[in-house]
Amino acid sequence: MGLRERKKVQTRNALIDAALELFLTQGYDATTIDQIAARVDVSPRTFFRYFSSKEEVALSPPADSQEIFLAEFAARPESESPYTALSQAMRAMIGTLRDKEPAEAERFMRARQLVEETPHLLAGQMRLLMDNEKRLVAEVARRQGTDTGDLLPQFVVSIFTGLGMVCYTSGPQGFDIMAKRLDDVLKLADRSLRPGWDLAAAAVSSPATG
């Protein structure tokens, strides 16, 4: 990796860290791009060459973690039912984040705290989630052998997204507490959902449409 590329990574991380620091201390709205840029000694224009908006710099860690989740999900064995694969992918994601180098893991936690206390960012994160939802639905449909347009895969993904929100919205905390919370929610889900609810068979047994 050349010097140029290393510098870019460095600047990018510096911008994220500076932004998170200012957002968390002064608040998101009260912080200007100029302040963030000044702290990293770059021009405001340069900031926008790394991030397309003020929102994006704050949501950059969450976006990364979602990518990780999607990768983990795609890597789950075919033997797992859609919902099981989703749950396991979520656990795997938390583990992957925890095992990163401290500086990076710290960024994820700080961003998480910021997003939670800033409604605008929470909305933005939901948008990220919905952007990925299509990919998720497609993969679930594939595992079920159903069509992407079917109600069932969308249903499964929506239920799961709901669970994710519950364990996400629960105050500042570390990865371990987050994992514990996820376990609790998944246990609750196991008690609430019928076995095989996420498999196509249940839907197929219904009479033809119309």
Chain positions contacting its own copies, by CB under 8 A: 119-120, 122-124, 126-127, 130-131, 151-152, 154-155, 158-159, 161-163, 165-166, 169, 184-185, 188-189, 191-194, 197-198, 202-203, 206
**Contact positions toward DNA, by CB under 7 A?**
2-5, 7-8, 11, 31-34, 41-46, 48-50, 52-55
Q: What angle do CA 32, 33, 39 make, to 5 degrees?
A: 100
Nearer to its own copies, 61 or 153 (CB): 153
Q: Is the dihedral of CA 192, 195, 199, 201 positive or negative?
A: negative
Q: Which is nearer to its own copies, 41 or 172 (CB)?
A: 172
79 binds, among its own copies, DNA, none (CB under 5 to 8 A by kind): none
193 binds, among its own copies, DNA, none (CB under 5 to 8 A by kind): its own copies
Question: Whole-angstrom Cα distance, residue 44 to residue 102?
Answer: 28
User: Closest Cα to residue 65, out of 145, 132, 156?
Assistant: 132
Structure tokens at 10: 């460095």
**Residues shown for the chain:** 210
Residues 152 and 150: their CA atoms lie apart, in Å, by: 6
Q: Which does 45 bind (CB under 5 to 8 A by kind): DNA, its own copies, none?
A: DNA
